[in-house]
Amino acid sequence: MALPLPPHAWALDPATGTVVLTITGRVRSPNAGANAVFDMAMLSKLPQHSFVTWTPWYPQPRKFSGPLLRDVLAAAGCEGSTVRATALNDYQVELPLDDARLHQVLVARLLDDKPMSVRDKGPLFLIYPFDSDPALRNAVYYSRAAWQLQSLEVI
């Protein structure tokens, strides 16, 4: 049984800048047809979180900052059991929505306090706090991270 995310407290405004994230599927607060779209300013208005973690993709720990995945999904009024993340290079991965509830999964928009270019795995990076829990340090969770994130489908 899919549990809903906490209810959103505001209506989702339309994007006025370049859309960097599109959410499809089980969206109850769409702002672009049946979808929810976000520009960078909208993501920056959500509560911001940061963590430093080691990843397999960088030689040293890095600081990631941005809204929690659960807050992004709540802003769009999403319910479901699974999220399918798609990157600019068409990489797709499914993760249980419980990951968003149980872990501090970020939709990172900053790397070491700076915006990420596409070359730096940006502009968005779906990232887990791998150093916060030894159970997250394995191939399953590494594969659920998605750099160059462009869309989420809530199933």
Residue 4 located in a structural domain: no
The single residue listed with the structure tokens 């520009």 is 39
Count how many domains the chain has: 1
Residue 12 located in a structural domain: no
The pLDDT assigned to 11 comes to: 72
The pLDDT assigned to 10 comes to: 53
pLDDT of residue 9 exceeding 60, the answer is: no
Range of the domain at 56: 19-154
Distances (CA, A) of 27 to 14, 55, 56, 133, 136: 14, 31, 32, 30, 28
Residue 10 located in a structural domain: no
The pLDDT assigned to 1 comes to: 41
- How much is the average pLDDT of 34-44? 98
Q: What is the pTM of this model?
A: 0.92
Please, what is the average pLDDT of the chain?
Answer: 94
Question: What CATH number does the domain containing 30 carry?
Answer: 3.90.420.10
Could you tell me the pLDDT band of residue 3, with boundaries at 50, 70 and 90? very low
